[in-house]
Amino acid sequence: MGDVTYGACCVDDLSARAMGCDYLLHYGHSCLVPVTADDAVTTTDDVKLHLRPLRTLYIFVEIGIDTDHLVACAEKNFGDDRSTIRLVLMGTIQFTGAVHEASISLKSKGFNHVEFPQAKPLSAGETLGCTSPRLDYPVEPSTSGGSGGRSVLLFVADGRFHLESAMIHNPELEAYRYDPYGKAITRERYDTPRMMALRYGHIQRAQHAKRWGVVLGTLGRQGNPAIVKHVRTLLTRHGRRHVVVLLSEVFPAKLALFRNVDAWVQVACPRLSIDWGEAFDKPVLTPYETMVAFGEAEWRSIYPMDYYAKDSGPWTNPYHASREG
């Protein structure tokens, strides 16, 4: 097929089935979306479609890095308090093996508190742009220049996108990124208060909207018809007229064509709204933000990055999968 895949959510099993394929090879990501012989999809009109069997082979990509250099960087930056510092390790999926290897070496060098938080069904230490672990233990910010008493996030990746998910979900943490190609460790920051203020402002604007558009993302499995159905029920209950639009990619120019729409909710990628919300002339909310707007969910002090995490709210994929199963 050779189509674009931005992440694990982009496995295009639905198109493969429509083309009559019996076997799908998905290259480069973890098997976030399980594909089984009795798979089914519920449409936005509450019609349950039983899909033809499709076997899927996920081809993982494991990139080897200089773990000795990673360990040396960690020692140089945090080694003075290695016996007390809590070192939280995360990274993108292609570096997971190297991160686990580095953890063994760090423990052998006296780092007594090395941890791999997990947001199931992801692997321990794995992070997506929309899903990352939320640390449930106390975080003690540093009041001095030293490392003692701190919980520190060391994230292995060659970019910031996935790291930002972890920083949004854990704003208390001091975050550092190790670039395995540039072989450098850098202190990373994210302006969470500004992001939260912007997103809440868009929620408040959308509350006054009478005509809504609901985007169902069709790029792989980004969009979920069950979430769309939930959102449509919510809008109908509150007397909001709405139209459903199917898009593979969401651009400001596309949504601007719908001049009669006052606000949007996009069931695709939460980061579209978080990262690019200011580029749209109308509010473009996530499912979580839409539920906040209509009082179905509370506005949390910690913005949830749990789109594919288990045991979360009705704005997430696993919530509806558990009820359909």
With CA atoms as reference, report the closest residue to 265 among 310, 297, 302.
297
Q: Over 50: is that where the pLDDT of 312 sits?
A: yes
Q: Are 100 and 111 in contact (CB under 8 A)?
A: no
Average pLDDT score over the chain:
87
What pLDDT is attached to residue 37? 44
Fold category of 67-190 in CATH: Rossmann fold (3.40.50)
Q: Which CATH superfamily is domain 193-324 in?
A: Diphthamide synthesis DPH1/DPH2 domain 3 (3.40.50.11860)
Higher pLDDT pick, 53 / 247: 247
Confidence (pLDDT) at 145 = 45
pLDDT, tens digit, for every residue of 106-153? Answer: 999 999 999 999 998 888 888 999 999 998 755 554 444 444 468 999
Q: Provide the residue ranges of all domains of the chain, joining segments of one domain with +.
A: 8-59, 67-190, 193-324
Least confident of 212-216, 288-292, 312-316, 318-322: 318-322
- Please state, in angstroms and rounded to a whole number, the distance separating the CA atoms of residues 118 and 134: 8
Residue 47 has pLDDT above 80, yes or no: no
Domain 67-190 and domain 193-324 have a common topology: yes
Nearest C-alpha neighbor of 283 from the set 211, 190, 217, 231: 211
In this prediction, residue 44 carries a pLDDT of 55
Query: What pLDDT sits at residue 15?
Result: 79
Phi first, then psi: give them for residue 97, nearest 5 degrees: -60, -45
Does pTM top 0.85 for this prediction? yes
* Least confident residue range of 37-46, 82-91, 127-136: 37-46
3-state secondary structure of 174: strand
